[in-house]
A = this chain, B = another copy of it.
Amino acid sequence: MGVLSPDAFEQRLRAIGAARYHDRHPFHRALHDGKLNRLQVQAWALNRYYYQASIPRKDATLLARLPTAELRREWRRRLEDHDGSEPGTGGIARWLKLTDGLGLSRRYVESLRGLLPTTQFAVDAYVHFVGERSILEAIASSLTELFSPSIISERVSGMLRHYDFISEETLAYFKPRLTQAPRDSDFALTYVKEHARTAGEQDAAAAALEFKCAVLWSQLDALQHAYVEGHPPPGVFLGADTAEAFA
């Protein structure tokens, strides 16, 4: 593909989201439509905890490579959003309210026992990606946030309507993301449009966004295979009762 104008390149990136973002995955549709049982929702929240808890590792890995105070200030805000400014605040702490509400002990959730290995491989691939690729590719890989506000709105309303074990309080994670994600993705999109100037750079940035879509998709494929189609791999979470025996 030849080099595109910044706006045409933005359309190329948005088309990747339209085709590959995980809002199209059957597990997400089932989650939002109330088609999952409690164990399946627990498995989702438990595995997704590892993603949430790894995002600051990912952002710190990139932060350590950013060349200017301006870029580092921008990226540091992401760490503040996820890690908070005191104990009990920030995105990870809010995610634990969801796993609390689902009856999973914090000791078990934080132990990472019972995680699907594929969750760990996919999430760690994302952390390694931002440490190994160009700054442009690392920033472009965050652009799935362009597509997250609509999935979050759907998820919150769908889950509240369909599951009696889900409340506004347990979904506390999501509300701040509705303002944080657009702010972050505005910055990242502007950066990527400005710095992907050659056809090669645009291809690399587009491939980085495809990679990140695959990181999210792979996690849902593994959840669906294990917990919807009934093929849990050896050693994974099989319900809160058995979980407590390990923790």
Complex contacts, A235 vs chain B, CB 8 Å: 20, 210, 214
Within the complex, what minimum Cβ distance (angstroms) separates A145 from chain B?
Answer: 19
Complex contacts, A124 vs chain B, CB 8 Å: 121, 125, 128
Question: Does A120 sit within 8 A of B, measured CB to CB?
Answer: yes
Query: What count of chain A residues pass the 8 Å CB interface test?
Result: 28
Question: Does A218 sit within 8 A of B, measured CB to CB?
Answer: yes
Can you tell how many copies of this chain the complex includes? 2
Within the assembled complex, what's the spacing in Å between the Cα atoms of A138 and B229?
A: 33
Complex contacts, A224 vs chain B, CB 8 Å: 225, 231
Complex contacts, A214 vs chain B, CB 8 Å: 117, 233-235
Of listed A117, A214, A231, residue having the most chain B CB within 10 A = A117
Complex contacts, A210 vs chain B, CB 8 Å: 235
Within the assembled complex, what's the spacing in Å between the Cα atoms of A190 and B27?
A: 45
Question: Does A92 sit within 8 A of B, measured CB to CB?
Answer: no
In residues 157-213 of chain A, which contact B (Cβ within 8 Å)? 210-211, 213
Complex contacts, A118 vs chain B, CB 8 Å: 118, 121-122, 218, 221-222
CB within 8 Å for A117 and B218 given contacts A124-B128, A125-B124: yes
Per DSSP, chain A at the interface is helix
* Other-chain residue from B19, B215, B222 in contact with A234 (beta carbon distance below 8 A): B19
Q: Chain B residue with minimal CB distance to A115?
A: B214
CB within 8 Å for A221 and B233 given contacts A118-B122, A121-B125, A124-B128: yes
Do B121 and A218 have beta carbons less than 8 Å apart?
A: yes
User: Beta-carbon contacts of A226-237 to B below 8 Å, as 1s and 0s?
Assistant: 100101011100
Complex contacts, A233 vs chain B, CB 8 Å: 214, 217-218, 221
Question: Does A26 sit within 8 A of B, measured CB to CB?
Answer: yes
Complex contacts, A231 vs chain B, CB 8 Å: 26, 221, 224
- Enumerate the 5 nearest inter-chain pairs by beta-carbon distance, A residue then B residue, closest first: A117-B214, A121-B121, A121-B125, A225-B225, A20-B234
Q: Give 25 CB contacts A-B under 8 Å.
A: A19-B234, A20-B234, A20-B235, A26-B231, A117-B122, A117-B211, A117-B214, A117-B217, A117-B218, A118-B118, A118-B121, A118-B122, A118-B218, A118-B221, A121-B122, A121-B125, A121-B215, A125-B125, A213-B234, A214-B233, A214-B234, A217-B234, A218-B233, A221-B222, A221-B225
